[in-house]
């Protein structure tokens, strides 16, 4: 069992130093600094986000998605056929994203995240590994404004083809662990076949990566069985946002490996470690399936200091569990 | 058509951009470089200016402009017993805010907005709206480290907000807006939002309004009409008036605050566009039940942008009124 995160990490904190990215973006928007200057700040803040995960002892980390101006949909902005429109609420959060607008056929032009991945990889010590997070094709389709395709099916499948090329490029650059985020998938169980077909397109060109699909913010009660048939290695399950997901893992054995969203990444209240252990023990049918423990979703919903505390909690809990298993 | 005395009343949603001198003073105050009295003097000056600004534009119902407020949830939380304020979290793009953290039993410490309302009302003969954040939204936008569930938290907020609303009414407010933008995020919790808001509005004689924005109202409609207020103020320009088809199916039985200006767009929409937007609604709601305003608060626009946008809006309404009277 290893500790991990789901995706993003706070870009700013409360100290002056921790707000340099905020100042940098403002200065760049006012044309007071150059793009290269802003990139330098983004690099430094990315290294900081990586360092926080390493310091906490997280095993499988991300680059914190420091460059992502919008949650989840950001990489799609670099696809052909996409422009950006007004703000929309990001699921049920008091957080907004600029909605991608599909103006013409969606296509992949060039690597979007490969540079970020390579940069991050240089900052990761041997004791940890790095995963890359991509938006899932179905969720991208759902969160976009479709002004081109007559059917959402065609849009989702074109997103999938573009993401497949991106995933392949990332694997070529050395990525070993790829994650597709599909928070929209459980919300539209009637579209499961489409989502599955799209995910299959994304994963087909991948030769040796470990592939996870993460769902968060909602219940998997209507999609859990179908999710078992996806051509992936593991499933990320949010145990905080839906009590039904807890019951599911008590009742059913998962055919896929599991990454469990155990601590609430949307509330500052700190969980009790003993409660978390008891919760984990209740998943008798799936104990050998649990590969990762992580927060319920990205940590950017939390203030910086709370995010660090949650990292410490997850990493500490995982280490304690691993060492007690070894002893036992 | 028989037109009543008042129809197509113009107003705004609540916030206006803060002048540079006030922004500077707020920063200085947060660094303890100036006193609360010094800050308040500038907040009053800005309030006076924004009241004049609205009178000059010819708006019918005014707001105090929220010069003394930061975020709409955080402002109240700063004054409530049982609340503290979090570190920075991201809202969207490069915008950050602080969230309330409920750390103890919530209690009303006495009037929070009443003096400000009295001050603003003393500057004009036009009615000034009382402005509150609704209990459901306060709950949804806060971190909660004290109450055991969302319902208890929302109802605890309604107790304190009800007291504030009564105090505003006692002071003479004839129109009280209680914003519930979070309502659109979790359709399954609409009954809770209704229950919590009814505890605030049940004893009020003033006209009650609730503003909401940037969500999928379609999923809530027509149940949304059960919110215990006389007027629903909806963001419509940003979402291309896609609610109208639903209004045809299920009549909109309340007054509508019709958002006709996209507040996230720098460009002012031409008078003709605004007229068309309002005319579209005539199909489903009669003019006497239409209040015309921007999609949301204008605090993210500049004062110049706000002026041009609102000028066009007031002009559009003037022309429409004339046309309606001519053809009546
Ligand atoms: Zn709004």
* DSSP string for A49-87: HHHHHHHHT-SEE--TTTT-SSTTTGGGGGSEEEEEEEE
Report pLDDT digits (tens) over A133-175.
999 999 999 999 999 999 999 999 999 999 999 999 999 999 9
Give me the interface pTM, i.e. the ipTM.
0.94
Angstroms from A22 CA to nearest CA on chain B: 6
Task: Render the burial of B86-120: b for 16+ CB within 10 Å, e for the rest.
Answer: bbbbbbbebebbbbbbbeeebebeebbbbebbbbb
DSSP class of residue B262? -
Q: Mutation test of the interface with chain B: which of A272, A298, A303, A309, choosing the one with the most B Cβ atoms within 10 A?
A: A303
Task: Render the burial of B34-60: b for 16+ CB within 10 Å, e for the rest.
Answer: beeeebeebbbebbbbbbebbeebebb
DSSP class of residue A272? P
Q: Which residue has the higher pLDDT, B221 or A233?
A: A233
Tokens of B130: 């009382």
The burial of A284, by beta-carbon neighbours within 10 Å (0-12 exposed, 13-18 middle, 19 or more buried), is given as exposed
Domain residue extents for chain A: 2-327
Report the pLDDT value the prediction gives residue B215, as an integer from 0 to 100. 73
Q: A99 at the B interface (CB within 8 A)?
A: no
Report pLDDT digits (tens) over A91-103.
989 899 999 999 9
Q: B327 at the A interface (CB within 8 A)?
A: no
Task: Render the burial of A89-118: b for 16+ CB within 10 Å, e for the rest.
Answer: bbbbbbbbbbbbbbeeebebeebbbbebbe
Q: CA nearest A227: which of A219, A295, A143? A: A219
Check: CB of residue B245 under 8 Å from CB of residue B221.
no
Q: A13 at the B interface (CB within 8 A)?
A: yes
A119 CA to middle of ligand 1, Å?
A: 39
What does the alpha-carbon distance between residue A10 and residue A311 come to, in Å, rounded to a whole number?
A: 12
Length of chain B: 328
Q: Where are the beta strands (DSSP E) in A218-295?
A: 234-238, 257-263, 290-295
The CA–CA distances, whole Å, from B226 to A168, B190, B221 equal 51, 9, 10
Residue B1 confidence class, pLDDT cut points 50, 70, 90: very low
Residue B186 confidence class, pLDDT cut points 50, 70, 90: confident
Residue B64 confidence class, pLDDT cut points 50, 70, 90: very high
Q: Decide if A300 and B89 are in contact by the 8 Å CB cutoff.
A: yes
For B9-18+58-69+114-136+149-327, which CATH class? Answer: alpha beta
Angstroms from B143 CA to nearest CA on chain A: 5
Report pLDDT digits (tens) over A208-237.
999 999 999 999 999 999 999 999 999 999
Unique residue bearing structure tokens 């680059």: A63
DSSP class of residue A4? B
Q: A311 at the B interface (CB within 8 A)?
A: no
Q: Determine the average pLDDT of the residues in B299-313.
A: 95
Domain residue extents for chain B: 9-18+58-69+114-136+149-327
Q: Decide if A86 and B88 are in contact by the 8 Å CB cutoff.
A: no
Check: CB of residue B87 under 8 Å from CB of residue A14.
yes
Length of chain A: 328
Q: CA nearest A3: which of A42, A53, A75? A: A53
CA A55 to chain centre: 20
Unique residue bearing structure tokens 């990889």: A121
Report pLDDT digits (tens) over A39-85.
999 999 999 999 999 999 999 999 999 999 999 999 999 999 999 98
Residues with CB under 5 A from ligand 1 (ion): B 213, 296
First to last CA, chain A: 15
Is A2-327 assigned to CATH 3.20.20.210?
Answer: yes
A315 CA to middle of ligand 1, Å?
A: 39
């Amino acid at each position: 069992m290893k500790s991990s995160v789901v995706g993003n990490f706070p870009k700013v904190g409360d100290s002056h130093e921790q707000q340099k990215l905020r100042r940098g973006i403002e200065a760049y928007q006012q044309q007071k600094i150059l793009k290269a200057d802003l990139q330098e700040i983004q690099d430094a803040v990315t290294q900081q986000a990586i360092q926080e995960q390493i310091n906490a002892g997280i095993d499988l980390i991300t680059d914190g998605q420091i460059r992502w101006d919008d949650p989840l949909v950001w990489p799609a902005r670099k696809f052909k056929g996409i422009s950006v429109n007004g703000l929309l609420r990001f699921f049920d959060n008091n957080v907004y994203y600029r909605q991608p607008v599909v103006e013409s056929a969606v296509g992949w032009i060039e690597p979007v995240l490969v540079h970020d991945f390579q940069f991050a990889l240089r900052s990761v010590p041997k004791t940890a590994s790095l995963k890359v997070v991509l938006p899932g094709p179905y969720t991208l389709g759902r969160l976009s404004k479709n002004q081109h395709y007559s059917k959402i099916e065609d849009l989702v499948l074109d997103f999938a083809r573009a993401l497949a090329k991106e995933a392949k490029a990332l694997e070529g650059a050395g990525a070993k662990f790829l994650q597709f985020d599909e928070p929209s998938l459980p919300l539209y169980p009637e579209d499961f076949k489409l989502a599955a077909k799209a995910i299959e397109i994304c994963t087909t060109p991948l030769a040796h990566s470990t592939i996870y699909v993460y769902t968060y913010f909602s219940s998997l009660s209507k999609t859990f069985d179908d999710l078992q048939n996806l051509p992936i290695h593991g499933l990320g399950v949010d145990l905080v946002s839906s009590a039904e997901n807890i019951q599911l893992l008590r009742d059913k054995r998962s055919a896929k490996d599991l990454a469990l969203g155990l601590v609430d990444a949307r509330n500052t209240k700190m969980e009790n470690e003993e409660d978390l252990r008891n919760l984990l023990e209740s998943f008798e049918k799936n104990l050998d399936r649990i590969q990762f423990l992580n927060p319920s979703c990205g940590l950017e919903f939390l203030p910086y200091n709370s995010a660090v505390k949650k990292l410490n909690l997850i990493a500490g809990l995982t280490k304690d569990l691993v060492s007690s298993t070894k002893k036992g | 058509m028989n037109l009543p005395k008042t129809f197509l009343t113009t107003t705004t949603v609540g916030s206006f951009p803060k002048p540079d001198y006030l922004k500077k003073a707020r920063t200085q105050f947060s660094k303890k470089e100036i006193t609360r009295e010094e800050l308040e003097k500038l907040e009053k000056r800005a309030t006076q200016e924004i009241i004049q600004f609205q009178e000059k534009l010819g708006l019918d119902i005014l707001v105090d402009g929220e010069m003394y407020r930061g975020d709409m949830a955080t402002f109240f939380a700063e004054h409530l017993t049982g609340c503290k304020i979090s570190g920075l979290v991201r809202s969207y793009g490069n915008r950050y805010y602080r969230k309330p953290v409920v750390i103890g039993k919530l209690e009303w410490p006495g009037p929070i907005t009443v003096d400000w309302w009295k001050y603003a009302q003393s500057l004009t003969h036009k009615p000034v709206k009382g402005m509150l954040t609704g209990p459901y939204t306060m709950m949804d936008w806060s971190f909660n480290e004290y109450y055991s569930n969302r319902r208890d938290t929302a109802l605890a907020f309604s107790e304190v907000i009800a007291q504030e609303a009564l105090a505003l009414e006692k002071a003479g407010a004839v129109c009280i807006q209680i914003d519930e933008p979070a309502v659109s995020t979790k359709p399954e919790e609409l009954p809770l939002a209704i229950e919590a808001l009814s505890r605030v509005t049940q004893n009020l004689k003033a006209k009650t309004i609730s503003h909401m924005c940037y969500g999928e109202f379609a999923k809530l409609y027509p149940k949304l009409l059960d919110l215990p207020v006389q007027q629903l103020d909806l963001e419509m320009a940003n979402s291309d008036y896609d609610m109208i088809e639903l209004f045809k199916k299920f009549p909109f039985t309340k007054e509508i605050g019709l958002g006709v200006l996209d507040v996230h767009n720098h460009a002012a929409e031409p008078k003709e566009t605004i007229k068309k937007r309002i005319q579209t609604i005539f199909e489903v709601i009669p003019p006497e039940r239409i209040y015309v305003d921007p999609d949301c608060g204008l605090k993210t626009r500049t004062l110049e942008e706000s002026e041009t946008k609102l000028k066009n809006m007031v002009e559009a309404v003037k022309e429409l009124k004339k046309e309606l009277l001519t053809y009546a």
